[in-house]
Amino acid sequence: MSKVQVTTSDIAQKVIDKESMYLLDVRNESDFEEWKIEGEAFEYKNVPFSEIKEDVEPLAKELPNDKDIIVACAKGISAQKTADMLEKAGLNNVYPLEGGMRAWSEHLEPVKVADIEGGAIYQFIRLGKGCLSYMVISNGEAAVIDATRMIDTFKEFAEDKGAKIRYTLDTHLHADHISGGRKLAEETNASYYLPPKDATEVTFDYHQLEEGTTLYVGAAKIEVKAIYSPGHTIGSTSLIVNNGYLLTGDILFIQSIGRPDLAGKADDWVQDLHDTLYETYTKLDQELVVLPAHYASNNEMNSNGTISKKLRTLYQENVGLNVQNQDKFRKMVTENLPPQPNSHQKIRETNMGKQAPDAEEQREMEIGPNRCAIS
């Protein structure tokens, strides 16, 4: 008899609440080392399924019987078989992860950032990828910023909150994941906004997100206050919500800063990145709460599960904001960069409308961790 499966929502709550969990990952070692479900209090064991199916008894003797064991694989099939074999071997505390790592990669967990006039700001955490999207809701209206391709989550959330999506916005042309902003706008009859300097090759119509753009969402106000903030891309644009929250896209993260090389123009854009971080942002209200579009690890989470910090705090703690010598800054952001995201050029072209991969290909293009930061 097949074991009851654990859902990605179950695991997401354990990650956010920093609960303990024992994870048995039955993918190949290289896949596990590159990318796994991460939790501060998790225990791990990696044994490829090819070894387990030959003889499950050695593994059964090694596993604890006093705690629940979650089994993960690529798509959930091998995890189910592993759990069934371990149950026959006498372990009744083993549960497969429904949908495997593919489902984990696509899971979005909404967390409230703060209440605002007539509603709230919500952060949608893509725990398996490190992507962060946002929804601003006020008086029955909503705006979605940096939406991922899992647009049903945003549609259902807005409907549950009794809000109509009026705007979708991308802070820049993404290279590590496929944007859902344009499709979400089409399906909800909303207006899609994109920075024009990132849209020179797009094949579709859009509204220009640029300095001076002001959008109202119910009683809330999303405004771009002269915050053209290039560096990660040439068009990167930051957003201020209600004069209290700074959405930085991929320019500034909690523990790092954006990388300027995903379009192959690191040397050209490094000065833009420096100017944004060391001039433009320094002139902003330092009490603004920074809400980035990505994060690198779960230790960036606050106690309520959100990923955010005041701009003032980041200028005190973030190493990328404390390199006073421009030559050292240039070396830091152009040398020893991590590998580029999987299929990053194909993802960029998909977000331009030049390619239209099917759903399964889109999943494969996005597999793996985000790599938008310099470290």
- Name residue 46's amino acid: N
Sheet holding 220-223, edge to edge: 214-217, 220-223, 239-241, 245-249, 289-292, 309-310
Cα 72–Cα 308–Cα 348 angle in degrees, nearest 5: 65
Rounded Cα distance between 116 and 146, Å, is: 20
- Please report, for residues 30, 90, 104, the alpha-carbon distance to residue 58 in angstroms, rounded to integers and kept in the order given: 22, 12, 28
Exposed/middle/buried for residue 315 (C-beta within 10 Å: 0-12, 13-18, 19+): middle
Q: Whose CA is closest to 262, among 297, 235, 280, 290?
A: 235
CB 36, CB 44: distance < 8 Å: yes
73 tagged catalytic: yes
Catalytic-role residue among 73, 184, 227, 365: 73
Rounded Cα distance between 18 and 39, Å, is: 7
Exposure string over 7-23, b if 16+ CB within 10 A, otherwise e: ebeebbebbbeeeebbb
Kindly state the DSSP code that residue 1 receives in the 8-state scheme: -
Q: Point out the residues that are catalytic.
A: 73
